[in-house]
Amino acid sequence: MPAPPDGIIYFLEIPYNQCDDVGHQRDEVGHQRDDVGHQRDDVGHQRDDVGHQRDDVGHQCNEVGHQCDDVGHQRDEVGHQRDDFC
pTM of this structure: 0.28
Instruction: Encode pLDDT of 4-62 as tens digits.
Output: 455 554 444 444 556 666 666 666 666 666 666 666 666 666 665 655 666 655 566 65
- Tell me what pLDDT residue 22 has: 64
Comparing C-alpha atoms, which of 35, 61, 30, 67 is closest to residue 47? Answer: 61
- Tell me what pLDDT residue 14 has: 40
- Tell me what pLDDT residue 84 has: 52
Helical ranges in 1-86 per DSSP H? none
Residues 6+ apart with CB under 8 A from 71: none
Instruction: Name the band, by pLDDT with cuts 50, 70 and 90, for residue 86.
Output: very low
Comparing C-alpha atoms, which of 65, 33, 35 is closest to residue 49? Answer: 33
